[in-house]
Structure 1
Amino acid sequence: MQRMRNRRDLPALDLLKAFEAAARHLSFTKAGAELFLSQSAVSRQIQQLEAQLGVPLFLRRTRTLLLTEAGQRYYRAVMQALDGLREATARLNAGSEDRTVRVTTTVTFASLWLVPRLVHFQEQHPEITVHLAANNSIRDLEREGLDVSIRYSTPHIAGPAAIKLFGEQVTPVLSPKLLARRALERPEDLQHFVLLHYEDPEHTAPWLSWDVWFEVIRMKRIAPKGTLHFSHYDQVIRAAVNGQGVALGRLPLIDGSLVDGTLVAPLRDPRYATHSEDRAYWLVTSGMARTRPSVATFTQWLLAEAAAVGCEPSQRAMSSARQSSKKR
C-alpha cells in the first residue's frame, strides 16, 4: 500500500465522512444508516481509505469493531477537521443561530438528576431553549435531529467521542422518619423493613436488584417485613421518600434527596455501596451540533454540574442518618 505524499492525495470527503461515522458508532451498519449507505458500501469506503493511508484504522472482530491506535489518532484529527468545516459553513449561512438544544436521556436520569438542575441553566441562559426527550431507547442523534445524549452504558457502547460524566454507586436509602422508628445500622436490620423493588421489564439493570446487592456484599438474602414492586425507578424513590420502605438508591442520581434530607443512606460503609465496574454516565454530542454556540454552552454547563458531583451529599446523608439514630 502506497502512502500519501502530497496534498493532492488527501482522501475524498465522502471517505472521511464514512470513517468519522463508523468510528463514532463503532459500526459500519449504523454508519451506513446515518449516511444512507449500505453496510457493504461503508466497508468498501473504509477499505479504500485504509489503502490510501497505508495503515489499518479498524480491528475487525466477530460482532465487534474497534479502532486501532492509528485509527484513534486519525479519528480525532478527522473529527476536528469536519467540525471546522461545519463551523465555517455555519458562519457563511444566512439567518440567525438556532438557539434550541435538543437533549435525549433516560427517564430516570431526566427526572432525578437533570430536570432539577435545568432551572439553574435557564436562569443563567434564558436565551437558550432546551427540548428534553426522555426515553429508555438508544436514539440516533444525526438521523433524529438531536444534539446531545446522556446515557448509562459501557465505554464501548458510548463510543470514542463520548465524555464520561460520572460513575454510580448503589446503597440502601430510606426516609429519615422511617429511620427514626427503626434502626438500620447493618444489613441484617433490613429484615425489619419493607423492601422496595425495581422490576426492570427488559432486565437491563440487574445491579438494581436486591438479590444482586446481597450477593455483592456477600450476605445471604434476608426475609424482609414485606415488599413493594414498581416498574419505574423514579416510583421506587418516591415510595422511599414517602416512608413506604427501603430502596436501593442510585448515587449520585438521588443526591438532591440526600442533600435536602428527604432521604438518608445509613449504610454508607464502602462495603455496602456497590457499583458497576464498566458502566458510567456518558455525554455524546452530535457532530452536526458540536460547533453550535448554544450546544457548546449547554455541554459546558453539564460538564461543570457533573464535575461538582462528589462525596458531599453522601456525607450529609450519613450525618442525617446519625442524627436520626440519636433521636430514637
Structure 2
Amino acid sequence: MQPRNAKSPASATVVRGIRRAELPPLNLLYSFEAAARTLSFTHAATELFLTQSAVSRQIQQIESGLGTALFERRHRALALTEAGKVMQRAVNDCLERLRDATAIVRAAQAPRQVAITTTPGFASLWLIPRLARFTASHPSVDVRISATMDLLDLQRSGIDVSVRLSTISRGVGTALFEEQVLPVCAPQLLKNPALPLKKPADLARHTLLAIDTPQGQPLNIDWEPWFKVMGLPELRMKNTLRFTQYSDVVAAAVAGQGVAIGRLPLLDAMLRDGRLVAPFGSAASHFGYFVNVAPRSAGNADAQDFVRWLMAEAELAKTLEPGKSR
C-alpha cells in the first residue's frame, strides 16, 4: 500500500514531462508563425497551401485555448497584441532550435563525400596512383572522381574540388605545379641501333604518338614548346598514331609503338621505375595545374583535407626526381 502523499508512476511522468493541455496544438503553430510574420491570414494561407478561412479558424482555436487574443483585427490589416508578441518570440525560438537540431542530426547521418573533377590524364596518371594514401587516412570519406575534358560548373554539378590545366599566366585558383615536357619512349626503342635517338633530329625517323587535335590545330601542338627550345620548329616525324586520350598515348609509348611527348610530373613515376625513358632534356610548357574549391564546399572539412593532401603530394613529388625511389 502506497503512502498517502506518494505519486503513482503515471503521475510522476506527467510532473516530469509537459502536459499536452499546457500547449497549443503543435500543428497550429506553423499557421501562427506564418500569420505573425506576414501579418496576413491570406499570405499565411498561400504559404501553407490552405484557405484564408482555414488559417483564421486555426488562429481562433489557439486564442481560445490561451484565453486571449493574439492579433488585433483591423480594417484590411493585422497587428500583434502584447500576448501575440510573446507567443511569436517563443514560437520562433522553438522552431529555430528544432531546425538547428534537425540539421545536426541529418549531417551526422549524411555520407561524407568529396567529389573531384579533373582531366582524364591527370586522374589516371597522377591522382589515382596516389589516391590510396588519402583514403587510408580518411576511411569514412567516399571519393568521387569525374575525369573529363569538359569544364564542369562546380555549383551545378555538385563538385567540391577541380584540378585543371591552364596557362601559367591565366591560371585561376591555387597552383599545384607547373608542367615540363620532354620526349619519352620505351627502353627497347632507345636501344634499337637501327633507329638511334642520339640527337633530337633523330626523331624524324620515329613514329609520333599524339592526341588527336581539334581541326585547324597542328598535330604536334603538344610538342611545340619542346621543339622550340631544341630549335626544331619544322621537324616532321616518320608517321603518326593518334589517340583521343593522353593516357592511351602513354600506353602506346610504354608498348614501344613510338615516341610521345611526356608531361611532367604526370609521368615521373614511369620514368623512375623504367617503364619509360627520356632520351633528351625537358622544356617548360608554360602550363600548370590549378586547384579550385566550390564556394558551397568551403564548410566541407573533408574537401579542405583533400586539397591539403593534394598540395602535400605535389610538394613530395618535387623531391622525387625521375630515377630516384621513394
Once the two structures are TM-superposed, the CA of residue 123 in structure 1 deviates from its matched residue by 2.3
* Larger deviation, residues 237-246 vs 147-156: 147-156
Letter in 1 for 2:230: I
From 136, 144, 157, the counterpart of 1:131:
144
Q: What TM-score do the two structures reach when normalised by structure 1?
A: 0.61
Equivalent in the alignment of 1:43: none
Equivalent in the alignment of 1:114: 127
Matches within 5 A, 1:49-198: 93-95=104-106, 96=108, 98-154=111-167, 158-159=171-172, 162-182=173-193, 183-198=196-211
SS in 1 for 2:290: strand
Size of the aligned set, in residue pairs, is: 222
Taking a change above 3 Å as real, the CA distance of residues 228 and 289 of structure 1, as seen in their structure-2 partners, is same
Structure 1 unaligned blocks of 5 or more: 1-88, 318-328
The runs of 4+ residues in structure 1 deviating greater than 6 Å are 89-92, 202-207
Query: Structure 2 CA distance, aligned partners of 1:261 and 1:171?
Result: 15
Letter in 2 for 1:276: S
SS in 2 for 1:168: strand
Tell me, yes or no, if structure 1 residue 250 matches structure 2 residue 259: no
Q: What TM-score do the two structures reach when normalised by structure 2?
A: 0.61
Query: Structure 1 CA distance, aligned partners of 2:101 and 2:143?
Result: 21
CA RMSD of aligned residues (A): 2.8
Matches within 5 A, 1:192-271: 192-201=205-214, 208-210=221-223, 213-219=226-232, 221-268=234-281
Larger gyration radius, structure 1 or structure 2: 2
SS in 2 for 1:114: helix
Query: Structure 2 CA distance, aligned partners of 1:120 and 1:281?
Result: 20
Query: Structure 2 CA distance, aligned partners of 1:190 and 1:105?
Result: 31
Query: Structure 1 CA distance, aligned partners of 2:215 and 2:177?
Result: 24
Query: Structure 2 CA distance, aligned partners of 1:104 and 1:185?
Result: 40
Equivalent in the alignment of 1:22: none
Taking a change above 3 Å as real, the CA distance of residues 186 and 156 of structure 1, as seen in their structure-2 partners, is closer
Once the two structures are TM-superposed, the CA of residue 246 in structure 1 deviates from its matched residue by 0.6
Tell me, yes or no, if structure 1 residue 274 matches structure 2 residue 287: no
CA offset digits 1:248-296 (Å, max 9, x no partner): 000111112112210011202xxxx22233x310010112212222112
Structure 1 vs Structure 2: percent identity of aligned residues?
39
Matches within 5 A, 1:309-320: 309-310=317-318, 312-316=320-324
Once the two structures are TM-superposed, the CA of residue 206 in structure 1 deviates from its matched residue by 8.1
Once the two structures are TM-superposed, the CA of residue 298 in structure 1 deviates from its matched residue by 1.2
Letter in 1 for 2:186: S
Taking a change above 3 Å as real, the CA distance of residues 219 and 139 of structure 1, as seen in their structure-2 partners, is same
Taking a change above 3 Å as real, the CA distance of residues 120 and 231 of structure 1, as seen in their structure-2 partners, is same
Query: Structure 2 CA distance, aligned partners of 1:203 and 1:291?
Result: 44
Letter in 2 for 1:296: Q
Once the two structures are TM-superposed, the CA of residue 127 in structure 1 deviates from its matched residue by 1.1
Structure 2 unaligned blocks of 5 or more: 1-99
